[in-house]
Structure 1
Amino acid sequence: MTRVALIAHDEKKPDIIDLVREYEDLLATFDLVGTGTTGKRITEETDLDVERKQSGPLGGDTQIGAEVADDALDGIVFLRDPLTAQPHEPDISALLRICDVHDVPLATTRTGAEYLLDGLALDADFDLDP
């Protein structure tokens, strides 16, 4: 089964919820993992189940990076706030590096996330048309 990680900085959490709602039918066919707060918000605001790791400041992004190293993830959506990210929020540098090493796609913008999810839908032979 396709496995995707979902992460968002605080200011981008509404954006990831909007993205997840738009792609909910597709994401329902995937195994989802997320950092603590992002995963909690997604499960509270949609009908999706998300395996929750620790929150970002407690190492959730590192736990997700370990899944990349273990070849257990097919892609990551990390909607980050490049302008007002807080010191307690996860840093993308280590996650980006491990994704590059293991050739796992990582999207940091809404448009990039849409391309990533559309590509995974093609791999999963999922019909995106309603």
Structure 2
Amino acid sequence: MNIALIAHDKKKDEMERLALAYRNILEKHTLFATGTTGQRIIDATGLPVHRFKSGPLGGDQQIGAYVSGNKMDLIIFLRDPLTAQAHEPDISALLRLSDVYEIPLATNLGTAEILLRGLDAGFLQWRDLNRGKDRDKLRF
């Protein structure tokens, strides 16, 4: 599965801790991230991460393009709801696209943990249906 990892500045430490705690799950998947967040995950975990531009420079929009192209399966976006973001319209657009294309999205550690554990347990196999993969192997 393709997983996007995004964290606002005040949430980057939390994203590092999450990636370290769930490294054994994340290593089984293809990881994407916005610029600085991706580098911090690479440095903390040693996992390969495809890095897009930073959020304010269009990274959120690049991930949104993957969402609309059915190339993203799960997004963990640790948002800072208490700090104004200059690129708020881009953030809102990414959240809207996640809803339109039914991409599971976590915006806090609690939901991120549930999604990662569900992913590991096989609860996101329906994403394979959306991509047309292994239709005959899926059992719910």
Matches of 1:101 and 1:68, distance apart in 2: 9
Q: Deviation per CA, 1:18-71, whole angstroms, max 9, x where unpaired?
A: 000000011001100000010011111111110000111110000001101111
The question of whether the paired residues in 1 share the 8 Å contact of 2:73 and 2:103 is answered with yes
Q: Which residue of 2 aligns with 1:115?
A: 114
Q: Which residue of 1 aligns with 2:49?
A: 50
Percent identical across equivalent pairs? Answer: 55
Q: Which has the higher helix share?
A: 2
Matched, 1:65 2:64: yes
Matches of 1:56 and 1:106, distance apart in 2: 17
The question of whether the paired residues in 1 share the 8 Å contact of 2:35 and 2:52 is answered with yes
Q: Structure 2 length normalisation: TM-score?
A: 0.83
Matches of 2:114 and 2:99, distance apart in 1: 17
SS in 2 for 1:92: helix
Question: How has the CA–CA distance of structure 1 residues 102 and 48 changed in structure 2, closer, same or farther, with 3 Å as cutoff?
Answer: same
Matches of 2:46 and 2:88, distance apart in 1: 26
**CA-atom RMSD in angstroms:** 1.8
Segments of 5+ residues of structure 2 without an aligned counterpart are 125-140
The question of whether the paired residues in 1 share the 8 Å contact of 2:2 and 2:31 is answered with yes
Matches of 1:104 and 1:27, distance apart in 2: 17
Q: Tell which structure's C-alpha radius of gyration is larger.
A: 2
Q: Structure 1 length normalisation: TM-score?
A: 0.89
Shift of 1:88: 5.5
Matched, 1:27 2:26: yes
Shift of 1:87: 2.4
The question of whether the paired residues in 2 share the 8 Å contact of 1:9 and 1:85 is answered with no
Aligned pair count?
124
Matches of 2:85 and 2:59, distance apart in 1: 16
The question of whether the paired residues in 2 share the 8 Å contact of 1:17 and 1:41 is answered with yes
The question of whether the paired residues in 2 share the 8 Å contact of 1:61 and 1:90 is answered with no
- Which structure is richer in relative contact order (CA contacts within 8 A, separation 6 or more)? 1
